[in-house]
Structures are given as structure tokens and as C-alpha cells.
Amino acid sequence: MMNSRWQANKIGLINFWYYDEQEFPFVKGRMLLRGSNGSGKSVTMQSVVPLLLDGNMSPERLDPFGSRDRKMSSYLLEEDDGREERTGYLYLELKRQNSDTYLTIGMGIRARRGKNLDKWYFSLTDGRRIGKDFFLYKDSGEKVTLSKKELENRIGDGGRVIDRQVDYMEYVNRQIFGFETTEEYKEMIDLLIQLRTPKLSKDFKPSVINDILSDSLQPLSDDDLRPMSEAIENMDTMTMNLKNRKEARQAAEKIQAVFSKYNQKLLYEKAERCEQAGLNLENARTRQNEQEKKLRECRQKIEDLKIEHQNLDVKRESMEKEKESLNKSDAVALKRREAELITELNGQQKNLGEKQRFLEQKQTQY
């Protein structure tokens, strides 16, 4: 099963079998091939799955029925086609779910008549897509597929080229599937091969499917079965515990219902006290604002009186200085002398009056 992060987006064949350049798109990781018997559905899919998943080109892997009659070289060079050499490519493009991130894996095959096949594997990890911004051929009037060296140069740092089939299988497992070991990954590939073995159009029976699935399963040892038996015992214990917990839960729900009513009553009383406290707080804030207003007025009056007091002090000081200056001047001395002379004049006039009365008495006596 493919890692949930990736899903197949398209497969492609270039210069392979009857295809010069052909792509088969997937929709949400699924594809339906429809055609009459012998039209090439099986050949097309076995050229990709599981070939591109582990890179194994053994003849029995290429035939859905397990025979060794088909060879990879026959898909590149046919007996009477007149060609001595042909290079083809197969690739599988994957897309990360809910993202525009792409990963492409594939393989190149070079067939030369009378010689062994040359094969190499590659991946694109920088987001480039074959047929969009990356091409497996050079166009110089006609399309010529890339050699292994030309492919390495064109991929550069945006992917890698792998020589060994084992390394390629480990790379695909690590990048796409994530099985802990290569053996587990190989078991999954073997299961895919088992599932495609029957020609379902002729032998579509449940018993056949059951046999295929049974044959694909690994035998279980006592060590493998022991955890299952222990798990069944644990399930019985858990069932009893679950029953006891259900009863305890029902009792707890009854207590919770009473406790909920009690909490609602307390909540009502506290809400009522909170509302009254809010009113008291509002009244206190109103009185506080009035007192703060009076306090500001008193402070303002104090400031005004201080200023008036300072002004009077200044005025008093100025008048004292003026008085002192006047006391030291001649006008003050003359005024004082005038007062003394007036007092003396009054005394002389009083004395003169007495003298005149005395004179009048003497004249009368005379």
C-alpha cells in the first residue's frame, strides 16, 4: 500500500513496445484501462507495476501468468523490425496529496541485438515533470532518447541515477512506501504479483481469489500467534471491565445530575450576589466621583488662596519698604517738626489766653 503522502499521478512509456511516447494519467491515484482481449492492457500495466516498484526485469515477472516466455528485450527489439539498437524509458510520476509537490521514478533500458540489456534507474526530486519541463529525449529533427550519461547530466542535482536494482528497490521503499525492512517491501511486491496472476475474465471465482491471498501470506509461527491469543484473553477481560465501567458510569451520571442541580442553585445565588455587588459598586463609584470633584475644588481653592497670600506678602513687603524709605526722608522730619511746633504753638496760645484773662481781671480791678 502506497504511503498516504504520495499517490500515483501518471505513468509514461517512451520508445517502448508499440509506444513512441505515451502517458496514462491517474485520477486520485486510480486508473481504469478498458479494451478487448489481446489489446495490450496486461502488457502495458506489467511494464509499470511492479516493474517500476522494484526494478526486477526477470521474465516470470513480465508475464501475468508466470511463464518465462516474455523477455524485456522483446519489448524493445522485435525479430523482424530491422533495428539493431533501441533505448526506451518507463516512468511513474507521483504527487503529494493536497500539494503541488511531485516525485518521479523510472528506468532506462538499452537493447542491442545479440547483447545483454543495459539498464539504469533514476528519480526526479526537484519538482520537474517529464513532458512538462523535463524530457527524456533530445529533439534534433527527430526524437532521440537520452543515453545514461546524457540523463545524468540533464538531471544534475535535481535527482539521482542509480545503477543497481537492489539500491533502486531500497530507494523506492524509503521514498514512497516506508516499510521498515526491504524484506517487508518485497513481500508486498510478491502479493501484487500473486493478485495479477489469474486471468479473471476466465477464472473469476471467490475460491481462486482466496487461494491467491492465502498463498501470498507468510506462515505464522507460535511466537506470532501468542500475541493474538493473549490479545483475545485481554479482550475478554476488557469486556468485563467495560461492563463494570458502564454500571459505574450510570451511577456516576445519577450523582452528576443531582450535583448539577446543586451547582445551578449555587450559581444562581452567587449570580444574584454578584449583581447586587455590581449595583453597590456602581453607587460607590458615583459617590467617589462626587467626592473627587469636591476634593479637586478644595485643592483649587487652596491654590488660589496660596497665590493671594503670596501676592499680599509681596504687597506688604513693598509697603514696609516704602514706609521705611519715607521715614528716612526730610519730609517726615519736617512733618514731625511741624507737629511739635503746632503743639508748642497751642501751648503758647493757651498761655496767651490765660495772660489775657489775667489782664482783664487786673483791668477790672483797676
pLDDT digits (tens, 9 = 90+) for 253-278: 999 999 999 999 999 999 999 999 99
Structural domain includes residue 306: yes
- Upper half-sphere CA count for residue 304 (Cβ side, 13 Å): 6
pLDDT reading at 323 higher than 90: no
What are 172-224's pLDDT values in tens digits? 999 998 898 888 888 888 877 777 665 545 555 666 666 666 665 666 667 77
Q: Provide CB contacts within 8 A for 306, sequence distance 6+.
A: none
Strands 6-16 vs 118-124: parallel, antiparallel or unpaired? unpaired
Kindly state whether residues 184 and 244 are assigned to the same domain: no
Q: Supply the pLDDT for residue 171.
A: 95
Kindly state whether residues 26 and 104 are assigned to the same domain: yes
The grid coordinates listed for 355 are: 495772660
Kindly state whether residues 45 and 180 are assigned to the same domain: yes
Dist CA 60 CA 170 (whole Å): 21
Q: Supply the pLDDT for residue 3.
A: 55
What are 2-26's pLDDT values in tens digits? 555 889 999 999 988 888 899 999 9
Question: What range defines the domain where residue 345 resides?
Answer: 329-366
Dist CA 64 CA 197 (whole Å): 5
pLDDT band for 337, please (50, 70, 90 cuts). Answer: confident
Three-state secondary structure call for residue 223: helix
What phi and psi, each to the nearest 5 degrees, are found at residue 206? -60, -35
Kindly state whether residues 292 and 335 are assigned to the same domain: no
Domain count of the fold of the chain: 3
What are 69-128's pLDDT values in tens digits? 677 888 888 777 778 899 999 999 999 988 889 999 999 999 998 888 999 999 999 999
Structural domain includes residue 256: yes
Kindly state whether residues 56 and 180 are assigned to the same domain: yes
Query: Across the chain, what does the average pLDDT equal?
Result: 85
Kindly state whether residues 269 and 320 are assigned to the same domain: yes
Structural domain includes residue 211: no
Contact predicate 59/48, CB 8 Å? no
Structural domain includes residue 222: no
Q: Supply the pLDDT for residue 344.
A: 87
The widest CA-to-CA distance across the chain, in whole angstroms, is 203
Three-state secondary structure call for residue 89: strand
Kindly state whether residues 246 and 300 are assigned to the same domain: yes
Structural domain includes residue 164: yes
Kindly state whether residues 316 and 302 are assigned to the same domain: yes
Report the helix count and the strand count for the chain, using DSSP H and E: 10, 8
Dist CA 117 CA 112 (whole Å): 7
The grid coordinates listed for 170 are: 531500497
Q: Provide CB contacts within 8 A for 101, sequence distance 6+.
A: 95, 127
Q: Provide CB contacts within 8 A for 86, sequence distance 6+.
A: 15, 76, 77, 110, 111
**CATH number of residue 154's parent domain:** 3.40.1140.10
Kindly state whether residues 260 and 193 are assigned to the same domain: no
- Please give the sequence-ordered ranges of beta strands (E in DSSP) within 55-197, or none if there are none: 85-96, 102-112, 118-124, 137-139, 143-145, 159-162
Kindly state whether residues 117 and 183 are assigned to the same domain: yes
pLDDT reading at 316 higher than 70: yes
